[in-house]
């Protein structure tokens, strides 16, 4: 079962990964993405994302109360809302956002995991953390019946930037240098996501692998404005209902691609 969900639209990029070891992870990730995708984003994306995260939390709580089998289900969420000059980022859990700028790969988000805390405390090296048996143990997530606070920050974009949002089924199996090289070499976001999914599969990835790649381009470039909904979030007719989201009118603009396995 695919417990990942993702969305790539003209104002929003997002990836959610249902919590492993808990029931209904697919429902939790789908709830996160569809709730966020339905928000009418304004000139204040920070407020919009804050409201969106709160709405997701409320919806998960409601589902858990209505069906005890869904109690404690949860999901990660990494979302980026475009304002015409950059992104506001909302992040909770261990999905990730990366930036490729001038050939260098930068990680924008911090994993909310027990192992990441040990790395920051100097008790584990990055190499030890990558192979730790509890590397996916979350200390923060969006979860039914639990309070959670997402990291929220703004990031300025530049023409030529390439952004990657992905679940741990990608970065857990594809080395950072391979990610960087793929993002550098791919001619388009769609080519980049296809190659990253392929690399995760070739590396023996046993988890769902989901990613969204977006380019910041000059406003004269013709880019796709149709939103993409993938993974557990995809429902018949859903794409048609989401095509009314606002289009970018200020520069730079973004082009995006998304894929899941």
pLDDT in tens, 186-222: 999 999 999 999 999 999 876 688 999 999 987 655 5
Nearest to 8 by CA among 260, 261, 259, 257: 257
Where does residue 52 rank: exposed (0-12), middle (13-18), buried (19+ CB within 10 A)?
Answer: buried
231: CB partners within 8 A, 6+ apart: 2, 4, 5, 6, 29, 30, 33, 208, 210, 260
Q: Quick one: how far is CA 247 from the chain centroid?
A: 20
User: Looking at residue 2, what is its pLDDT?
Assistant: 73
User: Looking at residue 252, what is its pLDDT?
Assistant: 42
CB 82 within 8 A of CB 7: no
Domains identified in the chain, total number: 1
82: CB partners within 8 A, 6+ apart: 10, 11, 12, 13, 45, 248, 254
In whole angstroms, what is the distance from residue 29 CA to residue 216 CA? 26
What stretches of the chain show up as alpha helix (H) in DSSP?
25-37, 45-66, 114-120, 126-130, 168-171, 176-185, 189-202, 238-242
Q: What count of residues does the chain have?
A: 261
In whole angstroms, what is the distance from residue 230 CA to residue 30 CA? 9
Q: pLDDT tens for residues 64-102?
A: 999 988 888 999 999 999 998 999 999 999 999 999 999
Least confident of 53-57, 96-100, 131-135: 131-135
Residue 173, domain CATH: 3.60.40.10
Find the domain containing 62 and state its range: 4-243+250-260
- Please state whether beta strands 4-8 and 74-75 pair in parallel, antiparallel, or not at all (unpaired): unpaired
If one compares 252 and 232, the residue with the highest pLDDT of the two is 232
């Amino acid at each position: 079962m695919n417990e990942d969900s993702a969305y790539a639209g003209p104002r929003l990029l997002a990836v959610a990964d249902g919590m492993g070891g808990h029931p209904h992870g697919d429902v939790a990730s789908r709830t996160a993405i569809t709730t966020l995708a339905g928000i009418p984003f304004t000139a204040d994306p920070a407020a919009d994302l804050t409201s969106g995260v709160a709405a997701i939390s409320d919806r998960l709580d409601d589902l858990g109360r209505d069906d005890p089998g869904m109690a404690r289900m949860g999901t990660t969420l990494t979302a980026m809302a475009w304002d015409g000059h950059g992104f506001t980022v909302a992040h909770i859990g261990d999905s990730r956002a990366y930036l490729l700028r001038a050939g260098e790969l930068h990680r924008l988000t911090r994993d909310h995991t027990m192992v990441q805390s040990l790395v920051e405390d100097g008790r584990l090296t990055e190499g030890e953390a990558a192979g730790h048996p509890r590397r996916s143990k979350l200390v923060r997530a969006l979860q039914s019946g639990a309070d959670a606070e997402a990291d929220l920050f703004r990031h300025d974009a530049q023409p030529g930037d390439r952004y990657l949002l992905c679940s741990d089924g990608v970065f857990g199996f594809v080395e950072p240098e391979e990610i960087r090289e793929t993002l550098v070499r791919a001619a388009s976001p769609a080519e980049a996501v296809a190659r990253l999914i392929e690399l995760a599969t070739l590396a023996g990835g046993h988890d769902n692998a989901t990613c969204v790649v977006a380019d910041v381009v000059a406003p004269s470039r013709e880019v796709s404005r149709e939103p993409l909904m993938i993974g557990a979030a995809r429902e018949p007719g859903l794409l048609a209902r989401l095509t009314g989201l606002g289009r970018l009118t200020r520069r730079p603009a973004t082009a995006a691609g998304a894929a899941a396995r």
